[in-house]
Amino acid sequence: MATRLAWWSFRAPQSHPCCRRLRHRFLPLLLRAGTPLAGPVSVRLGSSPAAAWRGALVRSGGFVGGRWVQAAAAFPVRDPASGAELSQVADCGVAEARAAVRAAYEAGVAWSQVPAKERSALLRKWYNLMIEHKEDLAKIITAENGKPLKEAHGEILYSASFLEWFAEEARRVYGDIIPPSSKDRRILALKQPVGVAAIITPWNFPSAMITRKVGAALAAGCTVVVKPAEDTPLSALALAELANQAGIPAGVYNVVPCSRQQAAAVGEVLCTDPLVAKISFTGSTATGKILLRHAAGTVKRVSMELGGHAPFIVFDSADVDKAVAGALASKYRNSGQTCVCTNRFLVQKGIHDAFVDRFAQAIKKELRVGNGFDEGTTQGPLINEKAVEKVERHIHDAVSQGASVVTGGKRHCYGKNFFEPTLLSNVTPGMLCTQEETFGPLAPVIKFDTEEEALAIANSADVGLAGAMFIGVYVYIKDSEFMI
């Protein structure tokens, strides 16, 4: 039976005159040489733009072995813009995780033998369904993640593109003929699926991070168990519904949503179960280290995309307006909650003051804080209050050591998870915001003198998405824009 959720209009306190009335809307390397249906949740959102979203894509159960399953308990999924409950989702634990791994392992026997052309066709059907339901999928992202609907639309197209790409790549899993050392020998290398892949994904791209990993795995002939972030499980479950409609066989794509309380136990199962052959994780460096320790016991293949701390370097010869436009785009997408967002702005002293002044003007002119469903919003809420507190901690630490707040600097009156786009000047490399990834709408500017000084600061971080060998650095110089 469908569950209908009531929704309300919210009125801001009189102490916040700026907010009069709030109406809530809602191939990594994967190749080697009798439970009842959990009913759909339909949602009534009054006259909001989200009212037309397709309730049939919103599911409340886990998806294991081609069936929707419930767990002994459920956990709430909340709208980060208001804190209102969107849905209760099955809180899968160790038992459900093991069942999902077993289902994936058993399904893998047949799936690995499916001809590449057929796997390609099924992935293409899944892609087509994503495009058909792109509006509904985007609204789910905005409801549970908070990002502006325009950004959510972009994510769905980006997400679907991975299925499209790997639908074609499935046909191209070629082997190799290797020149032998002896003339009476012939060496052939055949590529085969590794088996079950455990996919652990973050909340900031709740759809794209799944299809990027799952599309590759299924194309290669692997089966998967997805553990989505506890803040954003609805997108993963909507993808499961569409995968099922596309005809992806039972057990090939499994989803085990769980609460924050169950996350460690479920993650440990996925990393230690001997039936799992591969781990793919996107998230924090600290969590990645824990998963690596778990995976070491059974020597699993592991792919990880961990924390970033990208610097953005502006030299005296730069076009200031172009640099500012690039700074806005690289810092404030998804309210600063992307792993490749610039975390440190390094600006040469000759252009520093002009850059800071124009950057502040652009922030005030171009960025609009609001509910993700409201037209014109560019800055939605942060994912939860813990994220807001981290931004506040970084600002407080910087100001206590001499940094200046040029604009922003505090929570926005729109709600407790909203934060003003913030620009700091007089920042030094010893401050917390230059040592840790903020993951929020905070832009600290460090003044430098020479190129050598800038490179030393840029390379002082111990994290980088491309590893120790490379750190993504956005560099603006005259007549050229490129990324090192």
Distance CA 8, CA 11 (A): 10
Q: Which of 49-53, 421-425, 439-443 has the lowest mean pLDDT?
A: 49-53
Taking the C-alpha atoms of residue 191 and residue 241, their distance in angstroms, rounded to an integer, is 30
Predicted confidence at residue 42, as pLDDT, reads 34
Q: Which of 233, 206, 243 lies closest to 107 in space, CA to CA? A: 243
255 strand-pairing partners: 63, 226
* 474: helix, strand or coil: strand
| Active-site position among 92, 258, 339, 433 | 339
Q: Please report the pLDDT score of residue 55 as a whole number.
A: 67
How far apart are alpha carbons 328 and 219 in whole angstroms?
37
Other Cβ atoms closer than 10 A to 95? 11
pLDDT exceeds 90 at position 5: no
**What one-character DSSP code corresponds to residue 51?**
G
**Is residue 339 annotated as a catalytic residue, yes or no?**
yes
Sign for the pseudo-dihedral over CA of 326, 331, 334, 340 = positive
pLDDT value at position 464? 64
Structure tokens at 285: 């460096």
> Which residues, in sequence order, are bridge partners of residue 21?
11
Q: Which of 96, 151, 164, 305 is an active site residue?
A: 305
Confidence (pLDDT) at 29: 39
How far, in Å, CA of 200 to CA of 152, rounded? 20
C-alpha–C-alpha distance, residues 386 and 250, integer Å: 37
Largest CA distance in the chain: 87
Q: Percentage of residues in the chain with pLDDT exceeding 90?
A: 78
pTM assigned to the model: 0.85
Lowest mean pLDDT, pick from 39-43, 80-84, 201-205: 39-43
**Three-class secondary structure of residue 402 per DSSP:** coil
Query: Which residues sit opposite 196 in a β-bridge?
Result: 223, 276
Tokens coding 394: 């970084």
- Tell me how far apart the alpha carbons of residues 383 and 205 are, in angstroms, rounded to a whole number: 12
164 is catalytic: no
Q: What one-character DSSP code corresponds to residue 436?
A: S
Per-residue pLDDT tens over the stretch 215-265:
999 999 999 999 999 999 999 999 999 999 999 999 999 999 999 999 999
